[in-house]
Amino acid sequence: MKLVKDAAGGIQAEEVFFTKRMQNHHGGMVLVGDSIYGFDQSNLTCIDFKTGEVKWSDRSVGKGSVVYADGMIYARSERGPVALVE
């Protein structure tokens, strides 16, 4: 994860952490507060944005994509079903 910030003379990117625990195939990731939500292979996964530690991971949805709206994570499986995550 890289932190991008305004610096004298331009923009600077600094690596905060590196993890192999978010092998996002497709569908992107969303940042909500200090948590990153996305799919690590076939697991819906939540990673701490500041440390890179996995907070939780759940295989029930399978591989898919995520969006955030109205305080909820909407996870859509590549096979069609949608899960609502509080």
- pTM for the whole thing? 0.78
Q: Per-residue confidence at 3, pLDDT binned at 50, 70, 90?
A: low
pLDDT at position 2, please? Answer: 66
Q: How many angstroms separate the CA atoms of 72 and 42, rounded?
A: 20
Span 59-76, pLDDT tens digits: 888 888 999 999 999 999
